[in-house]
Amino acid sequence: MTQDPTGSGAGAPPGRDTHVRPLGAVTRFDDALPLTVVLVRHGVTPMTEARGYSGSDVPGPPLSQRGRTQAAQAADALFRTGRGRGRRLWPDLPRATAIVASPLVRTRETAAAIGRRLGLPVTTDDRFAECRFGEWEGLTGVEIEQRWPGELALWHSTGTYAPPGGESYTQCGLRVWDGLTALADGGAGRTVVVVGHAVQIRTAVGLAYGAPASHWSRLRVPPASLSVLRLWSDGTSEVTVAGYPTDG
């Protein structure tokens, strides 16, 4: 499953437009089954509530009390996702059979709540960790702007600018897509829950849309929200849902 985080089209399968696609579902003329991936952002932490940039350079912080409530709400939403009786979310999707989490504390706590609700074990994958913010770790946007004027805007708007000691959106997207490719190679016709982070989820959705990296920061990914991707082995991808809120 090939993808181009820069949006240039380099490395894409012949005839595939990786830049901008029309809205709506992917039209296919075969019976090939996709891998469905439900991307879940973790619940809030004290850092989230303080509006600080919290990346993967440090393992914490843990969920706050509100974040634990949000994790339970996300777990309930996932329990109602897929085929089954009663009122369902996206009833055409297969029920989840695996949960993979970023190795950070907040995502493992969120994934544990989901695992308990779905009756599934949780594994971790470093490729789904949050973007590394380097010297910006733990700082608010105001503090970053004071110390590095104009650079935060470059990071959000170019997709290729990296903070000091950190990662750009493109660099983050390369490893995230590598993780998704590994999941797709593990078999189609199933649903995998991936518990991660705001920037990490934006890169996955942006790549699945075929949008250039400079556009990825425009996607809003609320805490404990769900985003649903469908990935085919030939590189075709579809965004079914982006940023569906489960909080409240």
Please state the pTM of the whole predicted model. 0.89
* Residue-level pLDDT at 26: 63
Report the distance separating Cα 6 and Cα 169, nearest Å. Answer: 9
3-state secondary structure of 35: strand
Largest CA distance in the chain: 54
The yes-or-no verdict on residue 70 having pLDDT over 90 is yes
* CA dist list (Å): 237 to 17, 36, 64, 85, 210: 11, 10, 34, 28, 9
* Residue-level pLDDT at 3: 56
35-244: CATH class? alpha beta
Among 72-81, 111-120, 132-141, 230-239, the minimum mean pLDDT is found in 230-239
Of 182, 181, 175, whose CA–CA distance to 197 is shortest?
Answer: 175
Of 242, 207, 205, whose CA–CA distance to 225 is shortest?
Answer: 242
Kindly report the backbone phi and psi dihedral angles of residue 183, in degrees, each rounded to the nearest multiple of 5, phi listed first: -65, -45
Which two structure tokens, joined as six digits, stand for 170? 């493109």
Report the distance separating Cα 151 and Cα 141, nearest Å. Answer: 10
Average pLDDT, the chain: 90
Residues acting as catalytic residues: 42, 130
Is residue 173 within 8 A of residue 217, CB to CB? The reply is no
The percent helix, strand, coil of the chain (3-state, each to 5) is 35, 15, 50
* Residue-level pLDDT at 8: 43
Place of tokens 């769900």: 226
- Per-residue pLDDT tens digits for 159-181: 999 999 999 999 999 999 999 99
* Residue-level pLDDT at 14: 32
Report the distance separating Cα 91 and Cα 77, nearest Å. Answer: 12
H helix or E strand, kind and range, residue 235: none
The yes-or-no verdict on residue 1 having pLDDT over 80 is no
Report the distance separating Cα 103 and Cα 118, nearest Å. Answer: 20
Is residue 35 within 8 A of residue 231, CB to CB? The reply is yes
- Per-residue pLDDT tens digits for 186-238: 999 999 999 999 999 999 999 999 999 999 999 999 999 999 999 998 889 99
Could you tell me the residue ranges of all domains in the chain? 35-244
The yes-or-no verdict on residue 127 having pLDDT over 70 is yes
